[in-house]
Chain A
Amino acid sequence: METIGQGIIEAFKLIGSLNPELLQILFLSLEISVLAVIIAMLFGVPMGTFLGLKRFPGRNLFIAIVNTGMGLPPVVVGLFVFLILARSGPLGGLNLLYTPWAMLIAQVIIAAPLVMGVTMAAIQGLDERLKLQILALGANTLQFYLKLMKEARLSLIAALAAGFGSVISEVGAVMMVGGNIKGQTRVMTTAIVLETRQGDYSLAIALSVILLLIALLLNLIFTYLQQRRSS
């Protein structure tokens, strides 16, 4: 208990001191995860919408793959990205391993199926007649898709929250492909693992508290976006 208490005090001291190393870790975490979720949304929302609307051969197989992807163990993604980016791998020449880019790629792969799956369910859950109504008012294909996404806004924000939650808290994949290099690829989660291993519990707890606060803050923003019309 004492350790936890000390850790929390330490956390606020650290936040207050604006420790440059802490800030650097914090910003890298946010940068990679926010960018990963944006890319996952840009890719996953249209794909999910398409999957929710269209019937084509092999659709069920594709959906099964997406659903599996939603529960993909991050370490497996890490291993996969590692093997591809490793010097002997197919994309080894790009020299991306142990850079933030590798971490970004891994996080996009983790978040995209989540976004896709939630979007697909949301679009399928919309009233079939609502879809006809949008077309019956003269929407072209693009306008139709955009309107559907707007109608599914609540669920899309849930997809955003789920995607972000999964990548900001993820440690296995970023550790494997980023390497937790100080000043380069060290992020909140990998730093927590490291500090815990080294016995510096108070710093680990401080980082955890900050991570939790960030998650809370972002979810407050998501909730506000999601619920503002319902009140």
Chain B
Amino acid sequence: MNAVLLLKNVEVTQGGKRTLEIPELDVRKGEILVILGPTGSGKSTTLKLMAFLIKPQRGEVFWQGEKVHFPAPLSVRRSISMTFQDPLPFEGSVFENVAFGLKIRGIKGEDLRVRVEEILELLSIAHLKDKSAKRISGGEAQKVALARALIFHPSLLLLDEPLASLDPLTKKQLESELYRVLKQLGITCVYVTHDQEEALSLADRIAILDRGRILQIGAKEEVFFKPNDVKVARFVGVENLIPAEISANEEGLATMEAMGKTLEAVTPFPPGARVIACIRPEEVTLKKDGVGVEKISARNQLSGKVLSLETLGPVIKVSLDCGLQIKVLITRRSASDLSLKPGDTVLASFKATAVHVIPEDEGE
């Protein structure tokens, strides 16, 4: 494990309120760690802490294995770079903005010019070089902010919701461009967002932060498909959280009762355990009753009525009443193939492995 930065038992108190409490959080060399959490969860505070811009009231911060005393030495601060949700352009041209980080490190002349032009090229904004940084579009400004943060090849790049204020199209484009640049330069990055889609497309690892605490941290598949608890499940888009009781368990294949329905899942929970069955809406497939007779391999099949259809861009969210309510995401095409409308009877099916089982949350 190659930790670039490590937070240990840190606590941050702001205005008499504890806003952050992290027993341990490491950032590994070369990874993109996404911190996902709602507004006010302490995401930005975590980043400022990692940038050594604020001092924790308690705990320790290690940089490349060595404990850092506050105020952090300039050499440590200079290995780290951070951008904010707003691009915060400086006065002057795009070139001058991007050159700032190099200039303050004593680089000038031809070397400076070449390096600035290289990074502008890399982010495809070379044509903006002489424009005033305050007079370009939001997406362009965000790219300038990224170029400004990347130019001195930081060992750690901290990005605070860099795409949050952009329109959806620009956002998608910049997201993939950002991913390409980060991986191309091999930069270690901590990326803060409240957007689970962004997290899913950028992250190597994801940490879920809520009210200043990390609820779960792990590889993105693990967090998205195997959330620890209901809160995390909700946050990563598991829309079907069904309370159930395990009735039998044969070598890990459990049967459970949920509001009169029987579900099957792969889980070690013993009979009698009260649990929550988590099913991601995109893991459920729909068939219209009587249409098509081919065998369905999925172990869970529930017949139900369509309550409503909601269009979400390229996909459609279908709400079903199968005795218990289930939300399903299907493509527009399948919706029109099935000619779905409210009131229709459909068969919802999902695999036993698509059901992630967590213990019933005592707090809920």
Q: Which residues of A contact B (CB under 8 A)?
A: 127, 129-130, 132-133, 135-140, 143, 147, 150-151, 153, 229
B83-122 interface bits toward A, Cβ cutoff 8 Å, 1 = contact, 0 = none: 1101010111000000011001100000000000000000
Beyond A129-B84, A129-B86, A229-B132, is A137–B100 a contact (Cβ under 8 Å)?
Answer: yes
| Nearest chain A residue, comparing its CB with the CB of B92 | A229
Contact A135 B101 (CB under 8 A): no
Chain B's nearest CB lies how many Å from the CB of A156?
Answer: 12
Beyond A137-B149, A138-B74, is A127–B104 a contact (Cβ under 8 Å)?
Answer: no
Query: In whole angstroms, what is the CA distance A147 to B148 when docked?
Result: 15
Contact A132 B48 (CB under 8 A): yes
A137 / chain B contacts, CB cutoff of 8 Å = 81-82, 100-101, 104, 148-149, 152
A147 / chain B contacts, CB cutoff of 8 Å = 90, 100
A129 / chain B contacts, CB cutoff of 8 Å = 84, 86, 88
Best-buried of A133, A136, A139 by chain B (most CB within 10 Å): A136
Chain A's nearest CB lies how many Å from the CB of B187?
Answer: 15
Checking A127, A138, A140, A143 against B88 with a beta-carbon cut-off of 8 angstroms, the contacting residue is A127
Beyond A143-B104, A229-B132, is A136–B92 a contact (Cβ under 8 Å)?
Answer: no
Checking A136, A143, A151, A229 against B81 with a beta-carbon cut-off of 8 angstroms, the contacting residue is A136
Query: In whole angstroms, what is the CA distance A32 to B51 when docked?
Result: 47
Query: In whole angstroms, what is the CA distance A145 to B88 when docked?
Result: 17
Contact B77 A138 (CB under 8 A): yes
Best-buried of A129, A137, A153 by chain B (most CB within 10 Å): A137
Beyond A138-B105, A150-B91, is A132–B74 a contact (Cβ under 8 Å)?
Answer: no
In B46-68, which residues have CB < 8 Å from any A CB?
48, 51, 53
Contact A138 B53 (CB under 8 A): no
A150 / chain B contacts, CB cutoff of 8 Å = 90-91
Beyond A138-B77, A229-B92, A229-B132, is A132–B101 a contact (Cβ under 8 Å)?
Answer: no
B78 within 8 Å of A by Cβ?
A: yes
19 A-B residue pairs with Cβ-Cβ distance under 8 Å, sorted by A, are: A129-B88, A130-B88, A130-B90, A132-B48, A132-B84, A133-B82, A133-B83, A133-B84, A136-B53, A136-B82, A137-B81, A137-B101, A137-B104, A138-B78, A138-B152, A139-B104, A150-B91, A151-B90, A229-B92
B317-361 interface bits toward A, Cβ cutoff 8 Å, 1 = contact, 0 = none: 000000000000000000000000000000000000000000000
Chain A's nearest CB lies how many Å from the CB of B131?
Answer: 11
B104 / chain A contacts, CB cutoff of 8 Å = 137-140, 143
Chain A's nearest CB lies how many Å from the CB of B154?
Answer: 8
| Nearest chain A residue, comparing its CB with the CB of B47 | A136
Q: How many B residues have CB within 8 A of the partner chain?
A: 25
Chain A's nearest CB lies how many Å from the CB of B128?
Answer: 16
Q: Which residues of B contact A (CB under 8 A)?
A: 48, 51, 53, 74, 77-78, 80-84, 86, 88, 90-92, 100-101, 104-105, 132, 148-149, 152, 158
Query: In whole angstroms, what is the CA distance A113 to B1 when docked?
Result: 57
Give the 5 A-B residue pairs with the shortest CB-CB distance, closest first.
A136-B82, A138-B78, A133-B88, A137-B101, A143-B104
Query: In whole angstroms, what is the CA distance A137 to B99 when docked?
Result: 11
| Nearest chain A residue, comparing its CB with the CB of B149 | A137
Beyond A150-B91, A229-B132, is A136–B51 a contact (Cβ under 8 Å)?
Answer: yes
Query: In whole angstroms, what is the CA distance A198 to B151 when docked?
Result: 69
Query: In whole angstroms, what is the CA distance A150 to B78 when docked?
Result: 21
B82 / chain A contacts, CB cutoff of 8 Å = 132-133, 136-137
Contact A153 B91 (CB under 8 A): yes
Chain A's nearest CB lies how many Å from the CB of B308?
Answer: 42
Chain A's nearest CB lies how many Å from the CB of B172?
Answer: 25
Chain B's nearest CB lies how many Å from the CB of A149?
Answer: 11
Query: In whole angstroms, what is the CA distance A128 to B152 when docked?
Result: 24
| Nearest chain A residue, comparing its CB with the CB of B71 | A141
Query: In whole angstroms, what is the CA distance A139 to B74 when docked?
Result: 8
Chain A's nearest CB lies how many Å from the CB of B303?
Answer: 54
Best-buried of B83, B91, B92 by chain A (most CB within 10 Å): B91
Chain A's nearest CB lies how many Å from the CB of B158?
Answer: 8
Chain A's nearest CB lies how many Å from the CB of B191?
Answer: 15
Chain B's nearest CB lies how many Å from the CB of A42?
Answer: 22
| Additional 18 contacts, C-beta under 8 A, given A139-B104, A143-B104, A151-B90 | A129-B86, A132-B53, A132-B82, A133-B83, A133-B88, A136-B51, A136-B80, A136-B149, A136-B158, A137-B82, A138-B74, A138-B101, A147-B90, A147-B100, A150-B91, A151-B91, A153-B91, A229-B91
Contact A135 B152 (CB under 8 A): no
B48 / chain A contacts, CB cutoff of 8 Å = 132
B91 / chain A contacts, CB cutoff of 8 Å = 150-151, 153, 229
Best-buried of B83, B91, B104 by chain A (most CB within 10 Å): B104
| Nearest chain A residue, comparing its CB with the CB of B77 | A138
| Nearest chain B residue, comparing its CB with the CB of A137 | B101
B77 / chain A contacts, CB cutoff of 8 Å = 135, 138
Query: In whole angstroms, what is the CA distance A201 to B159 when docked?
Result: 68
